[in-house]
Amino acid sequence: MRKEIFNKIFDFFLPRICPACNHKLNPTEEIICDNCFDKLKLTPESLIAEEYHKKFSIKKYIRDFHPVFIFEKDREIQHIIHALKYNRRSHIGIYFGKIIGNQIKDKLDNWEIDLIIPVPLHKVKKAERGYNQSEFIARGISAQTGIRWNKKIISRKKYTETQTHLTAEERQSNVKDAFKLKDKNAVDGKNILLVDDVITTGSTISECAHQLILAGAKEIYATSIAIAE
């Protein structure tokens, strides 16, 4: 209730806007309006199994994964991800991190995750955007689950242009040797959850997992706000 009153006062001076529809939020709504939130589609287990097979079953660096929502072009989820990545609305990441932590709680228990690691951005890209959106998602998952997170374990040494126009094969060679492990001791024998905003071909997160396994990590799992085909 106190939060609602605070929101009411705050909204009077600086209205909070839903990133999916650009309408003002009600005092009871947080980050996304109820109307848009209801339109988000949870990823069914059948699709997760199918996508796992497509994206990770050959290399198997990722043991299992659970992207929470289905990415749909020109729909609410795309506007939300866009605002998170490019409009400096980093708090969207924390909000969805908490939702992920809540949605996949049972899986995280099963997977016995020791550590959450956000997929790193190259420092130039991070400077351009002002932050790494995946760090905020990791923070939200950590806040919800109590599992610790660390952004200093792996870094991105290769600057890759946006990969949206590349084929799956091109993406794979594009991310080869893209990551550098900074702290081997921190991952040795650990079960790790990798976090990204959207998993598309899976080549980036798979290569990141590869480096963690080479450094002695036990099993690597992955999650994201959304999955794109």
Binding site for Zn ion (CB under 5 A): 18, 20-21, 33, 36
Q: Are 134 and 117 in contact (CB under 8 A)?
A: no
CB 16 to Zn ion: min, Å: 11
Q: Are 202 and 62 in contact (CB under 8 A)?
A: yes
User: What whole-number distance in Å separates Cα of residue 68 and Cα of residue 99?
Assistant: 9
Q: What is the DSSP letter of 149?
A: B
CB 25 to Zn ion: min, Å: 8
Q: Are 106 and 64 in contact (CB under 8 A)?
A: no
Query: Helices 133-145 and 91-103 sit at what angle, rounded to 10 degrees?
Result: 40
Q: Which is nearer to Zn ion, 32 or 212 (CB)?
A: 32
CB 40 to Zn ion: min, Å: 10
Q: Which is nearer to Zn ion, 33 or 138 (CB)?
A: 33
Q: Which is nearer to Zn ion, 93 or 118 (CB)?
A: 93
Q: Which is nearer to Zn ion, 80 or 178 (CB)?
A: 80
CB 29 to Zn ion: min, Å: 8
Q: What is the DSSP letter of 88?
A: S
